[in-house]
Structure 1
Amino acid sequence: MTAHIKKAELHCHVEGATPPALALAQARKYGADTSAFIRDGIYVWQDFTSFVRSYDATAMLFRTAEDYALLAETYLTEIAAAGAIYSELIVSPDQGDAAGIGADAYIAGLAAGAERAREKTGIECRFIIVGIRHFGPERVEKAALYAARRAHPLVTGFNLAGEERMGRVADFARAFDIARDAGLGITIHAGELSGAFSVRDALDHVRPQRISHGVRAIEDADLVRRLAGEGVVLEVCPGSNVALSVFPDFSAHPLRALHEAGVRVTLNSDDPPFFHTSLSREYEVAASLMGFEEADLAAMTRTAIEAAFVDDATRKALLDRL
């Protein structure tokens, strides 16, 4: 039903986009044991904590710049075939260090893969540097300083992810000031595992253009009105929210209520194979289970491109493709 609709994605963690088949191929390459987190060709986990462990174990299967080039090329080519014209990948310099290749080689590898995908399919891609919340404010500030260096022209934004229930948003305000002063786009994970208060704190302390998830703002009518009034864009990931039991099912998910309240919303896949979803499926679910019309979905794609962390010329070129 939605295959012909052009799509754009603002929220996808690059290691979390690893198809299980690619993870298994990487494991064979390095002689790694995947039995603890891949069974019968699917990722296994029980809750957010065990999901993070599975995610981290998968990330460690990528150990060279070319490994990361393959990952980016594989994912971007896959979503381009489903109609995507733009993608922002959330990337972590900490992961480059953990892999032993350093942040610059990590970014360079991802960029090489993004360029190969663009040459094959025309899909545009940008990178959002992420600080990991449960690593603490100092490590997040280090990630912000790295982002501010603009080590590669595809680096255009900064985000905060990780265990949302640890620390206060205010603890990370300096990191966001560093990124903002460098001209980077600002988004932050909030309102997923923690309630509406975390969205309010993000607005008050970080002043983001976008919020990653933000769906639990629905718990506070005044906050929903504030989001609508300020035009803050939500990067909504329904499949992820249901998989992690933020909401019990799609009928309980607030995407439609937020949309009807005038909040600017977009559709995203987060960590697609871990949550048994894809960007294409997110559009299908919105249409078949949430009652969105084709025009609504096309408008969400337009919103994503309008809110993308790109230069004006690139934005105009993308809008022209709609």
Structure 2
Amino acid sequence: MRDLNLLPKAHLHLHFTGSMRVHTLERMAEAQGIRLPEGLTDNIAIEVPADQRGWFRFQRAYDAARKTVRSEEAMRTIVREAAEDDAAEGSRRLEIQIDPTSYAPFVGGITPALEIVLDEAATASRATGVDVAVIVAASRIRHPLEARTLARLAAKYAGEGAGDVVGFGLSNDERRGVTSEWESAFRIARKAGLRSVPHGGELLGPEHLREVLDFLKPTRLGHGVRAAESPDVLRRVIDEGVAFEVCPASNVSLGVYSEASGVPVRTLMDAGATIALGADDPLLFLSRLTAQYETLREQGFDDAELAALASSSVEASFADGASKRTWKAEIQDWLAADPSNDDDAEAHGA
């Protein structure tokens, strides 16, 4: 079989703190005398039910990890290591998502927090060859007025290349708040040329997705898998040109589906959806980007289908057209390589 780490791909759903390596988290915690919950360091993926109690457990673990990120050096380390990990898995483009509000108190404010991430994204891009861009995300557990502040900040750094802000998102528990109250923040972001990439359609179903489509005008949906429950909603998402960021390991760990075979990737593909596989929070789910492709291979997806998914992820990225064409050609080279010849596969996948 062809090496999936050599398959060129784009990684479009990765959270900043959630991208950390476990040993990096341990090192940061030890340096600050912070005692971590056992569940963050036991090398067992978190598994919770898809209800409020389950989300609370997940969020508590995430917050415990985030508390260790208290310096510019720590923030730079996270970005650099995320790029290195993606490079090792064949990723050509990483669009990492961050709410700078969480780290602002330790580096002088939200503007310095974002600038640190953007600067390191540009540096890491040069060092690894992975185009690292940034998505600024507001949180559903904060007031919508804060989202407007973040949208204005993100707008100042809008672009499409490495070290630029390329999109504006909305994360955290999608059951919190009223979706329409974030409409104005997304309007500010879109006016500046930023794409809309809110979470939706994971913890809640098609009716919630209709609200997300109506008010937030997404270019991509963070997850969106529950659209498969309604042919009408699925067709609307596809007809409006909205891509899906599908994270199989995350869906299972958060109890949305009992096993990976339940994640409706095949249904979405057969309907003609644009799909980008993502790892979401590998720190907690212990499953990175290539593992998402491996999971589908285990379910019977052949290499041509996996290459199509990789090409779909490239198309869904916010990279420039020339880069997309180059990466898609590399994907075809990977598919054309003889899988029985490791040297040939490496040469085509490099």
Tell me, in whole angstroms, the C-alpha distance in 1 between the residues paired with 2:263 and 2:255. 10
Cα deviation for residue 36 of structure 1 reads: 5.4
Identify if the C-alpha distance between structure 1 residues 283 and 174 changes in structure 2 by more than 3 Å, giving closer, same or farther: same
Alignment of 1:251-266 (within 5 A): 251-266=261-276
Query: Which has the larger Rg?
Result: 2
Residue 303 of structure 1: which of 299, 312, 317 is its match? Answer: 312
Could you tell me the TM-score, scaled by structure 2's length? 0.86
Q: Is the 8 A contact 1:218 1:258 kept in 2?
A: yes
Tell me, in whole angstroms, the C-alpha distance in 2 between the residues paired with 1:9 and 1:151. 19
Task: Name the residue aligned to 1:278.
Answer: 288
Aligned residue pairs, count: 321
Alignment of 1:183-262 (within 5 A): 183-262=193-272
- What is the aligned-residue identity percentage? 33
**Consecutive unaligned residues in structure 1, runs of 5 or more:** none
Offset from partner CA, 1:278-303 (integer Å, 9 cap, x none): 101001001112x2221222222222
Tell me, in whole angstroms, the C-alpha distance in 2 between the residues paired with 1:130 and 1:87. 15
Residue 36 of structure 2: which of 27, 34, 40 is its match? Answer: 34
Tell me, in whole angstroms, the C-alpha distance in 2 between the residues paired with 1:283 and 1:44. 20
Task: Name the residue aligned to 2:103.
Answer: 96
Q: Is the 8 A contact 1:66 1:109 kept in 2?
A: no
Instruction: Tell me which stretches of 4 or more aligned residues in structure 1 moved more than 6 Å.
Output: none
**Consecutive unaligned residues in structure 2, runs of 5 or more:** 49-53, 332-350
Cα deviation for residue 110 of structure 1 reads: 2.3
Comparing 103-112 with 276-285, which one deviates more in the overlay?
103-112
Q: Is the 8 A contact 1:137 1:172 kept in 2?
A: yes
Tell me, in whole angstroms, the C-alpha distance in 2 between the residues paired with 1:225 and 1:118. 36
Cα deviation for residue 45 of structure 1 reads: 6.9
Tell me, in whole angstroms, the C-alpha distance in 2 between the residues paired with 1:45 and 1:236. 18
Offset from partner CA, 1:26-66 (integer Å, 9 cap, x none): 01111111135534355757421121121122112111222
Identify if the C-alpha distance between structure 1 residues 151 and 68 changes in structure 2 by more than 3 Å, giving closer, same or farther: farther
User: Residue 135 of structure 1: SS of its match in structure 2?
Assistant: coil
Q: Which has the higher contact order (CA 8 A, sep 6+)?
A: 2
Offset from partner CA, 1:152-202 (integer Å, 9 cap, x none): 851111000111001222111111100000110111100011111111111
User: Residue 141 of structure 2: SS of its match in structure 1?
Assistant: helix
What is the alpha-carbon root mean square deviation over aligned residues?
2.0
User: Residue 113 of structure 2: SS of its match in structure 1?
Assistant: helix
Residue 147 of structure 2: which of 123, 140, 145 is its match? Answer: 140
